[in-house]
Chains A and B, each alone.
Chain A
Amino acid sequence: MKSILRILLALVLFLLPIAGRYLMYHDPRATYEPRVTPADFTRFTLPEPPTPSASLPAAFEPVHAGKVVLLDAAHGNQYAPNEIEPLITALSARGGRVEFHSSGQALGSQLKYASAYIVFSPSSDFSAEELLAIQQFVESGGRLLVFADPTRSLLSYDFFTGTVTALPDVNYVNPLLAPYGMSVVNDYLYNLQSNEGNFRNVKFNEFAEHPLTSGLKMVVFYGVHSIQAGNNTALIRSDKNTYSSLTDQGRAYTPLAVSANGQVLAAGDFSFLTPSFSQVADNAALVGTIADFALGSKRTPSLVNFPYLFFRPVSLVTLGTLTLDANLLQPVAALQNALSLVNVPLQVREKAAEGNDVILLGTFEDEDAIAAYIKPFGISIETDAETEESIVQIRGIGKVSGKESGLLLFSTNTKANTLVLLAPNAKMLPELVSLTAAGELSSCVVQGSIGICTLTPSEDENGSFYEDYQDPYGG
């Protein structure tokens, strides 16, 4: 018993410093229970891209043969032609022809004959003249397609401070859209709940009833601005889980809208029409309807758009006693040449051929012969009792001297488009025809379908310039 006690005592004394040191460093009550829940990396799968649902025609009829679509390349546009190849192909398949407007070319001249004008992500301002020309183009039935894209901001780098400034394209496209009550918002849309592989690739399922969205079930935009459509038609709307980067608020945003007059399309993205994004969901079908929209304009021919006034062969006919003399032949040849450049043949005839458009040449001197053509325009020609000069009275404009002025009168109807060129006399008519052939109407006042041009009086009426010249130095 005594030995057992001794052994126990020895054991206690042996363990005591060990326990003391252990307790000095460890809390026996503490227990560490790791709750490690590693992610299961094997169960994540690649999201599949949505497949097309809208059917595409196997072949297209070139129903818009000859129509020209003008692509802006004059405003630092942030795209390469090969990127928009699906749209160019869709336009070509429908008979359309694509031209580029580059800097140095007069936009107004190219818009004269264009069916549509397309702007992709510009990075420089449109001038006041260009904005006016585009507005007039739309008013005359041309179609304007404006594509912005949040991924195409131009970045400006300051080498001195190292700062980078983004210049979003919305700054440059909104002046184009403002006259139609639309604007592109400087944001991008995103959807964290349901997207096409990435939060900024937004799927859209809600479409307005419109030819542009006909047959579409789903389209995907890859980084898209929202459009403020105002009172215009929002063609596509997002679901409420789509957010704008500007507010981080979810609601129905629109990435594509068309103006109330049906002539202007605003899109917040164009990545959707670039390869290979154009093959996702119904994007290819949307590219097709956009091509139809661009080629579907019905432009009202306007005098300022010469030579793009005629869509049929043209008969040139002289009125009254006027003869096609040597002085007139050269300007008429220039006219023929100008029209041939736009694939319109011109033939000189005694009277207009059936189914032809017409150009009529005459002088104020043949009052009876021209009477039938000037009356519909509210024009009459009187003779001043004192000077015996012709005075042209134009309703709504007033009196114009018939001595130094030529008239261009343009009318259009279902049978033919008719252009009447009237000069004071046969000697001044070649100048008027030349002006017209050159498309140089800047010296003319054009008001609706009437143009009044200043012509140089012939020498035998006013005398030679040199005869009238008086040397100020008395030489």
Chain B
Amino acid sequence: MEENTPKTRRTLIGSILLWVIVPLVLGSLTALLISRPVIGIITLRDSIYAYTAENLIKQIEYARENENIAAVVLVLESPGGTVVHTEAIYLELLALRKEKPLVVSIDGMAASGAYYLTAAADYAFAKPTSMVGNIGVIGMLPDAPIIFENIISTGPYKLWGSPRDTYMRQIETIKQAFYEVVRGGRGERLKAKTDVVLSGQIWPATTAYQLGLIDELGSQTQAVEKAAEMAGVRNYKTQDLSIFASSSTNAPYGFFAQSENGTLLPYPKEAGIYLLYIPPMQAGQK
């Protein structure tokens, strides 16, 4: 039997420090390197065009590259916008989704191009009276090509881009692509038939849910919880990623037309092809 001598006590304390306390402290310190997971919030409350697209893409890139961000909730309140910028955001969202869950939370409206983005998500929430859909393309036919006495060009469509007729057909191909995005994104969850999807209707979310265009009626909080669940995280925190957005393009005006008295009108000021929802009377007015 060993004697309870000071030496023995020191040896015991030393052993406890070495084999218990030190690993525990080291483990605790190392554990601190595991940071609290973050659910990133990206918000689009505008139409989709160069300025908003650049802002969104920067936030998406940040979310993809930052390991702390476990999942992203995209909050949408948008009538859509230009085709190319919608596609740009959509492709970035797909890249993000390969690594992290993406959940959409629709506020007032996710129409046309904004629904295009919704189709990129793993899961989509909307409020019961959110407006969802308006899947399709709008555009204005350009004038029939003519030639001018004092303007010389090197081909029949150098001045006009394409025949008037082709322009109309290009819109049709964009529509086909839009449908493929919806069909591919929603998969088996899509219950509506093709002609219903492509009818261009905008539905209240209750109907959109029945058609399989969204997954659930619920709040942004539920969307965050769903994103966390899909990412397998808990005790997370949320972070508004808009602080990481900064656009090199000009200030966010110039997309919508303006009336003579300065009122902003709900349709673009330039002719072109858009994935955009324009309220009925203004559509006719245009």
Contacts and interface: CB of A to CB of B under 8 A. Distances in A.
Contacts of A160: none
Secondary structure of the B contact surface, majority rule: helix
Contact of A38 (B26, B30, B184): B184
A21 B31 contact: yes
A44 B169 contact: no
A49 B231 CA distance: 49
Contacts of B22: 10
Contacts of B282: 164
A35 interface: yes
B108 interface: no
A438 interface: no
Contact of A32 (B101, B144, B180, B181): B101
A163 interface: yes
A39 B185 CA distance: 9
A29 B232 contact: yes
Contacts of A248: 199
Interface stretch (A11-19, A174-182, A323-331, A460-468): A11-19
A46 B284 contact: no
Contact of A25 (B36, B98, B101, B230): B36
B61 interface: no
A197 interface: yes
A31 B232 contact: yes
For chain A, the bracket of interface size reads 35 or more
Given A10-B20, A197-B165, A25 B173 contact: no
A294 to B, nearest CB: 26
A188 to B, nearest CB: 13
B168 A34 contact: no
Interface stretch (B152-160, B213-221, B233-241, B270-278): B233-241
A195 to B, nearest CB: 9
Interface string B232-264: 111110000000000000000000000000000
A276 B100 contact: no
A276 B184 contact: no
B6 interface: no
Given A15-B27, A24-B234, A25-B233, A39 B181 contact: yes
A34 B169 contact: no
A26 interface: yes
A3 B199 CA distance: 75
A26 B98 CA distance: 19
A201 B285 CA distance: 21
A128 interface: no
Most A Cβ at <10 Å: residue of B27, B30, B194: B27
Interface string B20-55: 101110111011101011000000000000000000
Nearest to B122: A34
B24 A16 contact: yes
A157 B231 contact: no
B234 A17 contact: no
Contact of A37 (B31, B172, B185, B285): B185
Contacts of A38: 91, 94, 184
Interface string A73-110: 00000000000000000000000000000000000000
B198 A276 contact: no
Nearest to A39: B180
Interface in A276-311: 276
A208 interface: no
A35 B189 CA distance: 13
B285 A44 contact: no
Interface in A132-175: 153, 155, 157, 163-164, 166
B151 interface: no
Contact of B199 (A30, A36, A192): A192
Contacts of A47: 169, 172-173
B67 to A, nearest CB: 12
A46 B169 contact: yes
Interface string A27-59: 111111011111111001111010000000000
B27 A26 contact: no
A45 B180 CA distance: 13
B284 A193 contact: no
B163 to A, nearest CB: 8
A20 interface: yes
B58 interface: no
Contacts of B235: 24-25
A196 to B, nearest CB: 9
A164 B285 contact: yes
B198 to A, nearest CB: 6
Contacts of B34: 18, 21-22, 25
B105 to A, nearest CB: 18
A10 B23 contact: yes
A320 interface: no
Nearest to B285: A164
A15 B27 CA distance: 6
A118 B20 CA distance: 102
A197 B32 CA distance: 61
B257 to A, nearest CB: 14
Nearest to B24: A13
Contacts of A46: 166, 169-170, 172-173
A13 B23 CA distance: 6
B129 interface: no
Interface of A: 6-7, 9-18, 20-22, 24-32, 34-41, 44-47, 49, 153, 155, 157, 163-164, 166, 192-193, 197-199, 201, 248, 275-276
8 tightest A-B CB contacts, nearest first: A30-B232, A39-B180, A14-B23, A21-B31, A14-B27, A13-B23, A37-B184, A10-B23
Interface of B: 15, 18-20, 22-24, 26-28, 30-32, 34, 36-37, 91, 94, 97-101, 122, 144, 164-166, 168-173, 176-177, 180-181, 184-185, 187, 194-195, 198-199, 229-236, 281-282, 284-285
Given A29-B232, A39-B177, A155-B285, 12 more contacts: A10-B23, A13-B23, A17-B24, A18-B30, A24-B235, A35-B187, A47-B172, A163-B281, A166-B284, A197-B169, A198-B168, A198-B172
